[in-house]
Chains A and B, each alone.
Chain A
C-alpha cells in the first residue's frame, strides 16, 4: 500500500467487529497490545487465531484454526476466493479505491498457465522481468480500465482465475485445516466486513519469516482491500513489530539498502551507476504520486548530514554517500566473513550467536575476523564466540573488545513502536561504571575519526572531513544531547535554524535540512518535542489520541483514512466514520489527521499531466502509489510475482499440491557445505519444525536469561510435540530428545501436549515440532541453540530467512557432544546450479515411496 508500517494503531483494534490474528502469537508476544483485542472481544468482536499451535492467543480466541506451517497463502487465497465467489467483497470500495478495473497486459501469464511460474522468469538468474505484468495503456499512456469489472484482463478477473483453485477442499488438503473451521473463519470475516462493520488483521513474524513471507503479507493486504477494511476504524493491517523500536530502526534504518524515510541507497551496480544525484533521482523519482517529492527529501537529508559543505554545485555531497555494490545484506555478510572477506565488525545490541540463522556458522564466521567490538548489557553468547563449544580459543586470532552498554532506562531517547508512534523516554539513572549509551559511543568514535583524518588532503577522506558531526554534550561523560538529533530529524530551515512544520515545507534547493522526512514535524515549529507529549483522549472524545506522542507521517494515526469515507467523501456508515469531507468549510476533517490533501474535494478530477498528487483524483486514497489506488495486482515492487501464489517452504515434507514448481523460484539459498539444506520430501527429515517465542523470555534471551524472575518461569529449552508423535518415539512428557537437521543437532526436553496436533495432509499424517529459540550457553539458565539447526537463506524481496518452517528429525535421548556436526549419514544437498527446488525431480527419483 506504499508505506513501511502498520496501517492502524493498537487501540483502534477495540473498534473492530472481528480480528484475524494470523502469523502472530499476539497474546504472548504483544501482551500489552493484546489488551485491546481482549477489550474488543468483550465488546462482542470475534477473535480468530490461525496458528500451527494452540497458544495463549488461541485460548482467548473465538475460533482457533490449526494450520501447517508455511501454507498461509493457501489459507488466505482460500479466503480471497471465498470473498470473490460468494460476492461478499465490498464492491463499491473495490471498484473505486483499488486497481480492480485496470486491464493487465496481454503478455501477462499467470502461475495457473505456467504451472507455478509467472511470465518473465529467467531460470538462469532466477529473477523476473516485470515487463509483462504492466497495465494496458491508452494513447495518453493512461491505464485502460473496465469499470464493469468483467473484462477478462481486468485485475479482478485475473484475481478470480488466479485463486479459483484455492477452495475449502484444497485448504484442508494443503493446510490441514478442517473445512468446517475454514468456512467458519471465512464467513465470520466476511460477515464482519462492509459498510457497517470492519475486520482487522494482526500479523508478525509468523508471516514474514518464510521464503514466501512478503507474499503472505500481500495476500493479507489483498483480502483487506477486497473486504474494504483499509483506512477505516477497526480495520487495517496491524504489523506487530518486534523489538521496542524495530519500527524506528527501519524508518531511520539500520538496513544496507535504505536511507532514512525509505529512500533507497545509491547502487553502483545499477545502470547508469548512481554516482551523481541526477542519476539517483532519475532512477527513483516518480512523476506522479508521493515520490514526486523525492528530491526535496533527499536534498534535505544531505543538508542535514553535510551542512554548509552540501551545495548545489557539488550535488549536495551526494557522492559522499557509500554506494552499494551488491547484496550486502545480513546473510551474505556472514558468508563473506566466514570466507575471510571481512576484517572487523561492530556488534551493537544483537546476539546472533543465538538469534541468527545457522547460528553456528555465524559464530565460526566471527573467528575469521581480525577485530570485533561487542557492545551489550551482558557478556552474551556472541561476545564469547571465541570460546564457544567446539571452538579452540588458541586458534582464534580475533581481537575482541567487549564494551558495556547503557540500558534504556540509563539514557534519553525515543522509541518508534509498532504503530509508528515516536515516543520519547527520559534517562532515569546514570549508567553504572563504564557503561555508555549507543549515541555516546558512535558520536565520540566519529569525533576521533575526524581527528585522525583532519590533516589528510586526500579526496577519499572528504566524506569524513565534511560530515556535519557536532552535537552539544553534557554530563560527566560528555553525553551527546539526543534531543538535538530529534530536532535535526524533524527538519529545520538552514537560514535561521527554525523548525519546519512538516515535510510539506521541505525544499530541494538546499534551504531546508531534514534527517528523516517521514518524521518531519515531530518537533513543532514552536520547538516542542511532540514525541514527549503524553495526553490521551478525554473520556467521550475520540481523536485517536492525537496528543499522545507523534506518529509518522504527519501525526496520522490511521493510514489511508480517506478510504473511511465513500467516494463522495461521506462516511460509509455512522458506525464507522473516521475522516470525511466537510463541504461547508471545504476541507477534510474527522477523528484523525486526514491522510489526504486537506482541501482537495472528493469530486476533484485527476489531472493526467499533473505533478505528484495532482495526478490523483479526489477519490484516490492510496496517495503513496503512483496511481493513488490500492494494488490488488502489483505490476511493480515485488521480485517474485504480481500476485501471491503458494509454494512449499524450501524445506518441506510435502509436495506442492498446486504446481510443479515446488518452492519460490526466486529464493537465494546460499547452499554450501556449511549451510546444507534438507531436501524437500526427504524421508530422513519427516517433521515440520517451527520456531517462536515465549512471553517469559525475549528473543535470544540476551536479557531475559540473566534475570531470575524471568528465568524461573521458563527455565529450560523444550520442544512441543503432539501425543501421537510422542507415542511413536516412546517419549514421555519431560523426556530428553534430540532434534537435528543437516546444519546441526540440539537436545531438549519434550513437552507432550494436545495443543500440538497431527495434521492430515492427503494420505499422510504430518507432525509439527514447536521450538522456542530463547536458549544459549550463557546466563542463569542455559540450553542448546535452536538456530544451530536453521538454514541461512534469503527471501527475494526483503532478504528474510525461513525460521518459521524447516524440516527436521527427532529421536529419544540426549545429543552427542558436538551440537553442530551434521549427522555422519549426511547427504544434504549442496545446490551449485539449477534453481531452487529444481533438484526436486532428482529427489523424487532417489526417494521412491516416501511414507
Chain B
C-alpha cells in the first residue's frame, strides 16, 4: 500500500536520460589525456629541462601523441549516431558548449601536433630533409610548434572534465571544480608513465634520459588526483558518490583506479628502483588511468538513473 510520501519519485524511474557513451568515449578520455600530458611535458621539458637528457623524452612524447592524436578523432567519429556528419561539429563555434569548444581545442592541438611530429620525422630521417615535404615540415620554428601544442595540451587535458560536468548528471555536475583538474593530473601521470615505459623499453638510462623528472611528475600528479578525489567525496557526500563507492563500478573504481592505479605505483616507487618494478609501476598507473575514465563515465550513467540523487541536488 503506497503512501503519498513514497511517491517522492515516480515509480523510482530515472528523471534524467543517461548519455549513450560506451567504450569509445572512456578510451578517448584516456588517450586524449595521455596525448595532452605528452604535449605539456615535451613543451616544458624543452623550456626548462637539460636539453641533452630531455631529447629522448620529447622525441618519445611526440610519437605517443602522434598515436593518441590519430586514434582520438576516429573514436569520436565512431561514437556519433551519424558518423558521416562529423564535420557538422565545425559548422559553428558555441562558447557555451564545452563540447563545441573542446572540438576546436582538440583540432588545434592535433594540428600543432602534426607540425612537431613532422619535424621529428625529418630529424629521424623518415622524411628526407632536402625533399619538398621535408622543407615544408621544418618551416615553422620548432619552439613555436612545440609551444602551441603544449598550450593547447592544457585545454585537451581539462576540457573533457568540463564537458561532462556541464550536464545534469549529479555525479558529474556536482564535481565541476574537481573533474577538470582530476583529468589533467591523471593525463599527466599517465603520460609520464607511458614515457617511462617506452624509454625503459628502449634501454635508456639516467645519464641519457631524465627519468627522475618523469617520476617526480608522475608522483606529484597521482598525489593531486588522490587529494581531489578525497575532496570530492567530502564535498559531495555518500548519496551522490554512491556509483563510485558501491556496486561493480564502485569496487572497480576503489580497487582498480585508486588502489591499483595510484596507491600501488606510489608504494612501488618507495619499494625499489629496479627496472622491472618501475616497469610494473608504470603499467599500473596507465591501467589505473583507463579504469578511472571507465568508472567515471559508467558511474555517471548510474548517477543519471538515480532519481533520489537528482532530486537531492535539485531541491529548492
Contact = CB atoms under 8 A, between A and B. Distances in A.
Interface of A: 723, 754
Contacts of B2: 754
B139 interface: no
Interface in B1-19: 1-2
A706 B1 CA distance: 35
Contacts of B1: 723, 754
Interface of B: 1-2
B70 to A, nearest CB: 45
A11 B299 CA distance: 56
Contacts of A723: 1
A723 B2 CA distance: 10
B64 to A, nearest CB: 51
Nearest to A727: B1
A754 B6 CA distance: 15
Nearest to B1: A723
Contacts of A754: 1-2
A723 B1 CA distance: 7
Nearest to A723: B1
Nearest to B2: A754
A754 B7 CA distance: 15
B250 to A, nearest CB: 29
A716 B2 CA distance: 23
B302 to A, nearest CB: 25
A754 B2 CA distance: 9
Nearest to A726: B1
B13 to A, nearest CB: 15
B12 to A, nearest CB: 13
A332 to B, nearest CB: 47
3 contacts: A723-B1, A754-B1, A754-B2
A839 to B, nearest CB: 40
A481 B209 CA distance: 99
A754 B3 CA distance: 11
Nearest to A724: B1
Nearest to A752: B1
Nearest to A754: B1
B221 to A, nearest CB: 51
A754 B4 CA distance: 13
A754 B1 CA distance: 7
A844 to B, nearest CB: 36
B285 to A, nearest CB: 49
B5 to A, nearest CB: 15
A756 to B, nearest CB: 12
A752 to B, nearest CB: 9
B7 to A, nearest CB: 13
A113 B1 CA distance: 47
B251 to A, nearest CB: 31
A731 to B, nearest CB: 14
A32 B257 CA distance: 60
A557 B253 CA distance: 74
A718 B2 CA distance: 20
A597 B2 CA distance: 60
A727 to B, nearest CB: 10
A751 B152 CA distance: 59
B4 to A, nearest CB: 12
B150 to A, nearest CB: 55
A372 B179 CA distance: 73
A136 to B, nearest CB: 59
A160 B2 CA distance: 45
A317 to B, nearest CB: 67
A185 B2 CA distance: 28
A751 to B, nearest CB: 13
B6 to A, nearest CB: 12
B51 to A, nearest CB: 69
A544 B46 CA distance: 92
B254 to A, nearest CB: 35
A232 B271 CA distance: 99
